[in-house]
Structure 1
Amino acid sequence: MPEPVPDFSLTNVAAGPDPFSLAALPDSVDFAVLFFQRDHYCTNCRKQVQQLAERIDDFHGRDAEVVSIVPEPVERVESWQESYDLPFPLLADPDIEAGEAYDQPVRFGILGRFSDFFGRMPEIVVVDRRGTEPEIAWVHKGSSTFDRPDIDEILAKLDSLNDSDVPSEMV
């Protein structure tokens, strides 16, 4: 049985609809690739969004949109956009609404829940939008700030989903 896809509405400080929601994406976008970041200060997160920007055409060529979600206030997320000029949605999630809805991993128990610096781990979720209802097609939950698949691995996953040519619920 397909896993339901939580939708959310968050402020977008970069390209795409603002406020951002999955439903606001154009119908031509088959996949939303959600990158849940650790926090504003995370150097691995900052490197990742820059690498994603360099490879954005590879995602768009697969009818996929990259969406980066940062559990921080709008002002901090805007500083990323000012620094990196990202060509994809960059969302501020100050109340961790989307992170909680998608069960973003948190380490160190209670301490990790109260301090994103200690606890919030990266997560990637591929949402397949080709069926009548969007569904979660693939998830990677990081166990450390370094635990992230490389971009080629994510693109290969999108290729395998595209090769199926039907929504993942039908595969």
Structure 2
Amino acid sequence: MSVEEGMPAPAFDLPASGGRTVSLAAMRGKPFVLYFYPKADTSGCTREACDFQEALPALGGIGIDVVGISPDPIKPIEKFAEKYELTFPLASDAEKTVAGAYGTWVEKSMYGRKYMGMDRATFLVDAEGRVARIWRKVKVPGHAQDVLKAAQAL
């Protein structure tokens, strides 16, 4: 079953950059952006993370936190966060359980070869823990600004 707008956000509790832990329980009571990205320190993921970092003051100004999730182990995530001075938490979903719950761990195909991989997707979760907005198959350019606009409308 895939997550849809209006549904309660699936629970998560993951290790994150900066020695932090991120969980749905800890986020309850305030809206947040949860975005899934395929791999730390690749061109599209770097651009997306840097765009969210740039949008952070505006998002923070309206009380919205950002959390990024990838299937990478925590070590490469830490390096990625330090390299680009990313201050928001980047979480490791090495078991892909959270990605599975959000429907972002999917079968992909390249040159006719099928494999499992992370779908680039973003979820805007409201203060009650419900999914207010979903972006699937995200195209990075302009995406953080689209999310900011939707967040301002919450």
Q: What band does the TM-score fall into relative to the shorter chain?
A: 0.7 to 0.9
Structure 2: runs of 5 or more not aligned: none
Query: In structure 2, what residue type is equivalent to 1:20?
Result: V
**Native 8 Å contact 1:31 1:65 kept in 2:** yes
The aligned counterpart of 1:108 is: 109
The residue that corresponds to 1:128 in the other structure is 126
Q: Which has the larger radius of gyration?
A: 1
Match of 1:139 in 2: 134
Indicate the residue corresponding to 2:149 in structure 1: 156
Report if aligned partners of 1:11, 1:19 keep a CA contact under 8 Å in 2.
yes
- For 2:141 and 2:8, how far apart are their aligned partners in 1? 24
User: TM-score normalised to the size of structure 1?
Assistant: 0.76
1:6 aligns with 2:4: no
Q: Greater strand share, 1 or 2?
A: 2
How far apart in 2 are the matches of 1:100 and 1:148? 25
Instruction: Give per-residue Cα distances to partners, 1:72-127, cap 9 Å, x unaligned.
Output: 111111111220121111111111121111101632298321xx3xxx22000011
How big is the alpha-carbon RMSD for the aligned residues of Structure 1 and Structure 2?
A: 2.3
Distance 1:5 1:45 in 2: 23
Q: Secondary structure at the residue paired with 1:99?
A: helix
Task: State how 1:59-138 maps to structure 2 within 5 Å.
Answer: 59-104=59-104, 106=106, 107-108=108-109, 111-113=114-116, 116=117, 120-129=118-127, 131=128, 134-138=129-133
The aligned length equals: 147
CA separation in 2, counterparts of 1:153 and 1:96? Answer: 26
What amino acid sits opposite 2:24 in the alignment? L
Normalising by the residue count of structure 2, what TM-score does the alignment of the two structures yield?
Answer: 0.83
Partner of residue 20, structure 2: 18
